[in-house]
Amino acid sequence: MKEIEKAAQIIRSSNYAVALTGAGISTPSGIPDFRSPGSGLWEKVNPMLVASIFAFRLRPKRFFDWFRPLGRTLLEAEPNPAHIALARLEEAGFLKAVITQNIDNLHQKAGSKRVLELHGHLREAQCMKCRRIVPTEGLWEKYLNSDEVPRCECGGILKPRVVLFGESLPKGVFLEALGEVQRCDVMLIAGSSLEVYPAAELPTLAYQKGARLIVVNLQSTYADAVADVVIHDDVAKVLPAIADMCLKSTPHT
């Protein structure tokens, strides 16, 4: 496929390539996305009623009752070939960082080292009362098998360290991501609809400073109009093909 060859050539010739990933990179791992017609999570429930910080504060049990089946899926999921392809590209020196909108930890499980999680993660929780941050290893497994709301030692509700509607992105991580965008000369956009801001603005910022864009996503995105390569296909097929082609060449440093 000529577009895959072109994408590989662009990445091979780059000085500083980064990836931006969204929910679509994890759907092959069995994790539903939020906006796909017919299957998106937000077609079944109003996110403001269950996944906003306002709803969490008012009715935390409602949030956890909604989150429980999704949480099981997230904890049990395994990286798919798309995640592994990005980790291979990083290991070979072609990819400098992965900026992700996902909270599933699959990039790290696949072996990626520099992962900037714009929307947080499930590895920690924070008490809404005393603000203590606690590691969640073993905590979610216990909670997912009960109807209880997880609580801190002080009695406060424990909130996963994920960004809910109405919350700002973690400032430090977002500033790091902006730094990567400023440095990059290639941005590989994989599995993102580019509809959720401010993450969706990152390709624009990269393009405005001269970076070349590669888009791999089932549906069209606003970045298609200015991208050097656009591939509307399964990321789990396309990214490994791009990685294979890149890795046929001399390792990149």
When pLDDT is averaged across residues 31-43 and rounded to a whole number, the result is 59
pLDDT digits (tens, 9 = 90+) for 50-68: 789 999 999 999 999 888 8
Q: Measured at the alpha carbon of residue 205, what is the angle toward residues 246 and 209, in degrees to the nearest 5?
A: 75
Confidence of residue 252 (pLDDT cuts 50, 70, 90): low
83 classed as catalytic: no
What CATH fold (topology level) applies to the domain 33-76+121-162?
A: SIR2/SIRT2 'Small Domain' (3.30.1600)
pLDDT at residue 147, rounded to an integer = 84
When pLDDT is averaged across residues 38-52 and rounded to a whole number, the result is 62
CATH class of 1-31+79-119+169-253: alpha beta
Confidence of residue 44 (pLDDT cuts 50, 70, 90): low
What is d(CA 109, CA 210) in angstroms, rounded to the nearest whole number? Answer: 32
pLDDT at residue 114, rounded to an integer = 98
Domain boundaries, the chain: 1-31+79-119+169-253, 33-76+121-162
* The dihedral sign for the CA sequence 234, 235, 236, 240: positive
pLDDT at residue 159, rounded to an integer = 96
Long-range contacts of 174-179 (CB under 8 A, 24+ apart): 174/118, 174/198, 176/116, 177/99, 177/116, 177/118, 177/202, 178/202, 178/205
Q: Is 21 helix (H, G, I), strand (E, B) or coil?
A: strand
pLDDT at 190 over 70: yes
Q: Is 235 helix (H, G, I), strand (E, B) or coil?
A: helix
pLDDT at residue 145, rounded to an integer = 80
Confidence of residue 46 (pLDDT cuts 50, 70, 90): low
Catalytic residue among 119, 121, 232, 252: 119
pLDDT at 76 over 70: yes
pLDDT at residue 140, rounded to an integer = 82
pLDDT at 217 over 70: yes
**Residue 79 DSSP label:** -
pLDDT digits (tens, 9 = 90+) for 86-142: 999 999 999 999 999 999 999 999 999 999 999 999 999 999 999 999 999 888 888
Confidence of residue 47 (pLDDT cuts 50, 70, 90): low
For the chain, what is the mean pLDDT?
91
pLDDT at residue 50, rounded to an integer = 73
pLDDT at 191 over 60: yes
pLDDT at residue 39, rounded to an integer = 45
